[in-house]
Amino acid sequence: MFKYLKLSSPGKIILCGEHSVVYGKKALACSINLRTNLKAEYSNSSLFSLKLNDINKSIELNQTQFESIQNESIENDFDKIIEYLNFKKSDDKHFDSIKFLILALDQLTWEKLSGLDVQIESEIPLASGLGSSASFSVCLATLFLLLTSSINPKLSQNDLVIINKYAFYLEKLFHGKPSGIDNSVSTYGNFVLFEKGSVVDKFESSLDLNVLITNSGVPKQTLEQVKKVRNLYERNKEILDHLMNSIDTLVGKFVVLLKQESSIEKSILLNDLITLNQGLLYSLQVSNREINSIVNLANEFGFHTKITGAGGGGCCITLLNGEKTSQRVTQLISKLKDNNFMPFQTKLGTGGVCIEKFEF
Ligand code: MEV
């Protein structure tokens, strides 16, 4: 077993296909180079402690508490454990997530937890639709699976499948009915194509995809926006079916472009797809004043922007076409800030969960 462990996993954005994915179409998501970092180290203490530095919260367990959780007679069935924990709702999802792992991993013994000090810190802005909770889930699942030697620190493809499965169940604890896309991106990294609840393709792109992510400052409203689109769909099914199909075609084209070598023509086509997707999302009525304003400001500087996620608030992405520090990028950033938006640059398609240090 390790003495000191450091691991991390990335946040994500949805590149295209939000909302239409709810209607059985494809969505393309990818990792961003902001990560959640987990450090774990053994000390002489007789407690297990987990510190969540971003929210200034810590959880401690002693042996008696550990054993009382372990003695709870729940069969090792993920759905049953989730149901049971929700029934016993502690209002503390982080504690529930530890309980879930203790109940789910029957090889876990107190010796593995005693004296273990875990610290988690994230570079991903919380509750912004950038996958901070999934990244937390992936880091925590990886730690516990390592503790029970259920996975190898070298992280084979099969190990990633196991991590993703446990992280998905933690996500269920946090969100009730997650699609599974966030934890898949955080586990596998790079680009993930998702359809009807499953990962249907995972790939890397040779493109240097730098984007600006701009937080509109309006909190994301996933449930409300999904419901709003559903109502619009029920009233205008024959029109919206075409619209969802158009987004699906657009996602397919995006995938083809990302898999090809870089070219000037490709950058024009990617920009087309971003603007077409934003137009379709606008038609779905999930854009708002702030988002329209970000789209228009970026357009003034020649950049193409769309919502990422559910819309109604949350974040937008702007393709920077390989420019990182050009004058127009700098000018756009300062213009967005002048308008009280919060832009930051990031690279798309970085690596998934990664064990950075595993010292004996
Ligand atoms: C939200 O990030 C993406 C939506 O498509 C909802 C979902 O897929 O569950 C709007």
Angle at which helix 93-104 crosses helix 157-175, to 10 degrees, equals: 140
C-beta of residue 11 within 8 angstroms of C-beta of residue 132:
yes
How do residues 49-101 score in pLDDT, each as one tens digit? 999 999 999 999 999 999 999 999 888 899 999 999 988 888 899 999 999 99
Cα of 140 from ligand 1 centre, angstroms: 23
Cβ-based neighbours of 249, under 8 Å, separated by 6 or more: none
CB of 11 within 6 A of ligand 1: the answer is no
269 membership: H or E segment, kind and range: helix 264-283
Q: Are 95 and 50 in contact (CB under 8 A)?
A: no
Non-local CB neighbours of 115 within 8 Å, separated by 6+ positions: 42, 43, 44, 45, 46, 47, 48
pLDDT in the model for residue 175: 85
DSSP element (H, E) containing 198: strand 198-203
Task: Give the rounded distance of the alpha carbon of 348 from its chain centre.
Answer: 13
And the tokens for 71?
């003695």
The pLDDT of residue 127: 83
Report the pLDDT value the prediction gives residue 322, as an integer from 0 to 100: 82
Q: Is the CB of 19 under 6 A from ligand 1?
A: yes
Convert the pLDDT of each residue in 138-159 to its tens digit: 999 999 999 999 999 999 999 9
pLDDT score of 171 more than 80: yes
Confidence of residue 325 (pLDDT cuts 50, 70, 90): confident
- Cα 272-276-281 angle, rounded to 5 deg: 150
Q: Does ligand 1 lie within 6 Å of residue 275's CB atom? A: no
pLDDT of 328 reads: 96
Listed in sequence order, the residues at least 6 apart from 3 whose beta carbon sits closer than 8 Å to its beta carbon are 41, 42, 359, 360
State in Å: Cα 201 to ligand 1 middle.
18
The total number of residues shown for the chain amounts to 360
Distance, CA 42 to ligand 1 centroid (Å)? 39
CA angle 162, 138, 345 (to 5 degrees): 135
Residue-wise pLDDT tens digits, 242-296: 999 999 999 999 999 999 987 778 889 999 999 999 999 999 999 999 999 999 9
- pLDDT tens digits for range 20-42: 999 999 999 999 999 999 999 99
Assign 332 a pLDDT band (cuts: 50, 70, 90).
very high
Confidence of residue 313 (pLDDT cuts 50, 70, 90): very high
Which residue has tokens 């969540």?
A: 52
349 CA from centroid of ligand 1 (Å): 19
- Give distance in angstroms: CA of 50 to centre of ligand 1: 30
Give the model's pLDDT for residue 90: 81
Nearest CA to ligand 1 atom 2: 309
pTM: 0.94
Q: Residue 214, exposed/middle/buried by CB under 10 A (0-12, 13-18, 19+)?
A: buried
DSSP state for residue 125 in the 8-state scheme: P
CB atoms within 10 A of CB 359: 9
Report how far ligand 1's centroid is from the alpha carbon of 207 (Å): 25
Q: Report the C-alpha gap between 106 and 128 in whole angstroms.
A: 35
Tell me the best of 16, 21, 30, 132 to mutate to test the pocket of ligand 1, counting ligand atoms within 8 Å of each CB and taking the most: 21
What local confidence, expressed as pLDDT, does residue 1 receive?
84
Percentage with pLDDT > 90 across the chain: 87
Q: Tell whether ligand 1 has an atom less than 6 A from the beta carbon of residue 129.
A: yes
* Atom number in ligand 1 closest to CA 129: 2
